[in-house]
Structure 1
């Protein structure tokens, strides 16, 4: 049967030769040439088809992270060439380091070696020489990422674009690879180079964008802190609430609203706005170049506290939202609510001090007058404060001496400890507190009970106290002891209100 087929084949060739009318040997050579061209065409079609599929794999996975992208590429190529092991490396040309990011039939952690320097091992040599390396029948362990495999075939292909290596592909098979597979790997490596360059550039762009966003967030946070500090400073002014403004608008608003002066780090005056000059009653030519100590009391200017104040500012430590006593022209006393803020340069070092201030001299004067008046009242009257439910909040010494109690014996107790039990249950007593809770002022002479049980008489008033919103929140009682007057007249005065 076999001989018959051979005979028929020979006849067919001879028949073809006869038709061709050329020498038989030339005919055989022509036939062989045609067969080789056919095989070359088939291999080219196979190569083009697989390259087209490979480009599609790249396109579909282009936007994934590096490790995922590398795993997909490894698996696709390993299946085509029937590899038993593979590794995908990325090249850091700045550090001259080659690092594995994915593996086939292994992980980066289980690789024999996952990091190479340029020129180190076959992976490093492929990068250094920028050439594909193919080693067949490996007899012993090589310096690569693969585990020990006897008689294996190894291909190490660098990804080259514009004479720059961006990555390396290492594949291991149990049999020697045909040339068409080597060509496929080489061509795929070229496509991978451009893809990897784009991925790396995209990652760098993403990193730069993230850094830029982080810096923007830090600047936004710093801007918010400055805005909050300024709001705290401006909150001292009645009904002044400011929103965050653009930097130029904020500087203009500050200059027209606040007294502002600038110093060098040692305390010498650099500049001051008109508001500050008006408050201190100076011209700019009279203070520029002089030291801040011209605004403070002489002894304070010589103190360690004053020295430390400027040392802290020189180190960049702000002095914020405090009240300072200062002196203008001819010893004019001025009270300022102010902040001393170090201004930082691009290197993070302070280079000048900016003081923002509000003149609170009139408010301070009114506060001193009020405190003096309250001190006089405290010395002259017995004073006690109650919550709206008659719970005692506090009392001064005059009141405690009048009723014979210590402060801790009355705070938290009810007012009724100063009256008889019968009177505490009376309608008159209930009306007293009902009217007070309505915000009605009560005045008169009242009998009360001393701690020792004796009756005493006081004259004074119960005063409802309202908060800034007009809401009643406590009762303050001002009285004087008139027991001695009652004893002299030896009769009871009628009680107006109790």
Structure 2
């Protein structure tokens, strides 16, 4: 009887254990399949196991929560990428088409409608040529009936577009009257259901209106994108208007000057030769200054620090990013001739720097990453050192390109820390549940893979953080306690002199203002944003150099998942150049009027100006020589253009080249370019002689362009090459520069037009 009871009990326990093992196996299989689906990118996968125990429910809830978080992050990332890509695309359009208002507005509305996948739209610009008659004028439209809308005029306050100008607010309608707007296509026509009207605002001034119609609803991030884009469009439109007015003033001045010259024929004849000489020198000087400005702007484009030093470790040249970083450390403004090694008071670090630059002066091009500790804050910089060669092939200087990789290194360390903590926790759980650990090895392996996916997601987040560091505008957010939540590099660089090189996260924003009145003013502004208002203000600041800086700031509330405002974002834009252009325009007008009065009243004063013009001519010659000297040096750093750029000596051997040209020769197996004879590229003697004749024209002083056709593997390509002579300090031609651009698509388009 006792044996029977024992047997039944054992069988019951065994069955219970078998059921538990079966349930665990089913749970592991379901979890593994679910995670594999997520790895494949299927964020809509369903978890196909419904357990009854608390452990089953906890695992199910965790896995589903992970999937939902990844799904939400994917959607948010897609929206952020969409906005970032759109802003970058339209910034290129605004920069490249800012000389012609009609071409600019046509490109904007056409690309905007396509990017939003809308159906039609129009761009209106404020016509204020007559201050007594200001109205909205259509400048560009897309998918409209051209005859009906091309001459459309809207009064301020008339219709929705006129109302948006008066109220300076975005209008979004999802119910439009049937007669208001119709969208037509080859398949028929229908009424638009959604209408978005966005005013183009700059410094609280409306310069125009964007009107976009679509069958589909506009999402919130799309509306915010159009509003942000509207600010950039307004800025460009205002700049174009200023340029047009300035050109008109210049044309009026030239007409008045010509009329006065006709009246003063005798004086004009005496000054004709000197005036012609001065105009030619002005043109040459302007071209030289434009080239210098262009080259300087090129090295100031990247956020990375760029500078060069000579063999005495004296700084030769540098870009803005470098000066901004060192200025906070030294308090100096001009670093030309500055002893670079003085930045390292520690002798060991100084010797380390000497050893690094010795490698570069020996001709080595390499990259190195170092850790720095500033006031207890660690930072990491990746430095690329490259030698710069003189005319004789000797290393005369070293160029340094420094990049801040602190965020990347911090992300890596954080990832390692999270991984170690996860492993430690996993070991503790395995020690407590040995039997469960043995049955869930496969799930543990899957968990490590999930950690890898999480690491990749964090890397993408780091990438998006880098994206907001691209614009030069300052961007930061503050919470209701006026503490900084996040910021971009432009903001931290702007405050570096005030706060030092510290982490600004959590920094009391109001501490940036010295007086209580300034603090209260800021509190009043941010309280408006915390109440839900999105607005823009412009402030004037002293730059401590006798000049003024004008900053336009846009404050916007940030909402959490419950639509409650938890922070305010600030976008600051420097519009000093725009204000300066306005003042310059006014100054030109005043000078023009003054000059006309002086020419009409005193003929004798023009004769006296001959001596001043002669003195000015000598000064311009001196400036010209200085600019040309800088231009020759800065050209060594230019690798930005995608066009091939190279120079050759009279022996047809390469003197200098950029990366685009080097990449082209490396593609055909030529890697050692130093002293390479270009004639070796042409085995055919007739082709070689043709190239020699081309260079002979340039060595005689001619500057010309030639379009050449090349055929390779049954593919025909065209390259437009511009040849220009290069002169030394004595004015002798000692080399020829060539700028080569691929114009295959342009030539194909011309051929199609001829057909």
Greater fraction of residues in helix: 2
Question: Which structure has more RCO (C-alpha within 8 Å, separation ≥ 6)?
Answer: 2
Select the structure of larger CA radius of gyration.
1
TM bin, normalised by shorter chain, reads: 0.3 to 0.5
TM-score for both structures, normalised by structure 1 = 0.40
TM-score for both structures, normalised by structure 2 = 0.27
